[in-house]
Chains A and B, each alone.
Chain A
Amino acid sequence: MQISSKLWLAVMLVAAVFSFLYYEAANAEYGDVVINEFSDEAGMRPVVFPHWFHRIRFRCKVCHGDLGFKFEAGGNGINMLKIIDGEYCGACHNGDVAWSIENCDLCHSGIPETPTHVHHSTTQKLVAPLQSGTTDSAARQADGGEQQP
């Protein structure tokens, strides 16, 4: 009994050291969109929208056509009122098609003060590398603002 508990403690300690070593603030998934138009000001974490998760379930045209999402990070002026009225995210996130808006943390899960941008996008890498902790509009504009009709 004594051996197993002490051994267990030792294993846990070593495991903790190793997991700490392996933990790295690496990189989010290609195509994830951070939306931080109003969140920081409102004291909420910015929204992280995972494109990959949604494109497995819906074709692009459902959101970027039927629901009217423009191809522009931060270009849609989405706020919670629109969402509870069934616009944008609210067309599905209504407790019917997808989980409802009371799960604040599932969308508002970004690191505070992360600017609006498409993560890992070519423009973000080449044109406007993000300064972490700054919410500047330059990154957003370089990230796809200007091609909208």
Chain B
Amino acid sequence: MNAVNMRNLAILLIAGGMAVLAMAFLASLAEAQSNPNAFNRLMKPASERNAPPPSDGIHDPDSEGTHILQTPRESFDPLPDSISGNYVDWNAAIDAGDIAPRNSIGESPAAPIVLDLNIVREVKGSMPDVVYPHKQHTQWLDCSNCHPAIFIPQKGANQISMASILLGEKCGVCHGKVAFPVSECRRCHSRPKEQTAAN
């Protein structure tokens, strides 16, 4: 057996080994898919979040432009984490100076007019009361974005229910679409109810 044959044998062995590995991987994948009692059957694994545009499900991988677009993961990497939505804590990102979104199109925009005013809404039922912070909202938005079309600027004038929010009204105009979703209950329902008339 000469040196060339030895080389070919080595290549064959390496390639064969890799093929076996690939088959084993395929088999484990098939098993994972067929196992009815797998963990988190309906959940998207963390590794699939913020996928690059060509594999994100709405961008067309056949389009040249799709492959030029930035991958969210790359952009989000230096930003503070959150538990849902974009998995970015956008307010913390502003507060930490990680991002500095402009307040107008020009390069030297005026600073936003931030209103530091909390509105407490006492809610029916057992959930903690809602504390609405104007501060975080006015960092992003103008008064006129919400008042008076979405919220009448008057105490007690706005009927809000979780049902309407889930349907995309009131808070749901943004929360559940682009701002953090309503599954983060405690970020709004944050003030424990006072214990009254307890005997």
Chain B interfacial residues counted at CB < 8 A: 67
Q: Is the CB of B55 within 8 A of A52?
A: no
Q: Is B160 an interface residue, CB under 8 A from the partner?
A: no
Chain A residues within an 8 Å CB radius of B102:
57-59, 62
Chain B residues within an 8 Å CB radius of A119:
58
Of B75, B90, B103, B167, the residue contacting A61 (CB under 8 A) is: B103
Tell which of B56, B84, B170 has the most Cβ of chain A within 10 Å.
Answer: B56
Chain B residues within an 8 Å CB radius of A126:
166
Q: Is B31 an interface residue, CB under 8 A from the partner?
A: no
Q: Is B159 an interface residue, CB under 8 A from the partner?
A: no
Chain A residues within an 8 Å CB radius of B14:
7, 10
Binds A, one of B64-72, B117-125, B126-134, B191-199: B64-72
Q: Is A21 an interface residue, CB under 8 A from the partner?
A: yes
Of A27, A122, A147, the residue contacting B57 (CB under 8 A) is: A27
Given A10-B15, A65-B144, A105-B65, are A27 and B59 also a contact pair (CB < 8 Å)?
Answer: no
CA gap between A19 and B193 in the complex, in Å: 52
Q: Is A109 an interface residue, CB under 8 A from the partner?
A: yes
Interface residues of B in 149-199 (CB under 8 A from A): 149-150, 166-170, 172-174, 176-178, 181-182
Of B4, B112, B149, the residue contacting A59 (CB under 8 A) is: B112
Chain A residues within an 8 Å CB radius of B64:
105
Chain B residues within an 8 Å CB radius of A25:
55, 57
Interface residues of B in 81-108 (CB under 8 A from A): 84-86, 88, 90, 99, 101-105
Closest Cβ–Cβ distance, residue A142 to chain B (whole Å): 7
Q: Is the CB of B172 within 8 A of A32?
A: no
Q: Is the CB of A14 within 8 A of B19?
A: yes
User: A118-149 toward B: CB 8 Å interface, digit per residue (1/0)?
Assistant: 11011100110000000000000011101111
Of A13, A29, A105, the residue contacting B86 (CB under 8 A) is: A29
Query: From B144, which residue of chain A is reached at the shortest CB distance?
Result: A65
CA gap between A18 and B59 in the complex, in Å: 22
Closest Cβ–Cβ distance, residue A68 to chain B (whole Å): 11
User: B11-22 toward A: CB 8 Å interface, digit per residue (1/0)?
Assistant: 100110011011
Chain A residues within an 8 Å CB radius of B65:
103-109
Q: Is B145 an interface residue, CB under 8 A from the partner?
A: yes
Query: From A121, which residue of chain B is reached at the shortest CB distance?
Result: B177
Q: Is the CB of B166 within 8 A of A66?
A: no
User: A69-84 toward B: CB 8 Å interface, digit per residue (1/0)?
Assistant: 0010000000000000
Given A60-B140, A108-B65, A123-B167, are A24 and B48 also a contact pair (CB < 8 Å)?
Answer: yes
CA gap between A119 and B181 in the complex, in Å: 12
Chain A residues within an 8 Å CB radius of B4:
2
Q: Is the CB of B63 within 8 A of A23?
A: no
Listed from nearest, the 5 A-B pairs whose CB atoms lie closest are A105-B65, A122-B176, A149-B149, A31-B178, A28-B56
Listed A/B pairs (23) with beta-carbon separation below 8 Å: A3-B7, A10-B18, A18-B22, A25-B55, A25-B57, A27-B51, A28-B57, A30-B181, A31-B177, A48-B59, A57-B101, A58-B101, A59-B139, A59-B140, A61-B103, A62-B102, A65-B142, A66-B105, A104-B65, A106-B68, A107-B65, A142-B167, A147-B170
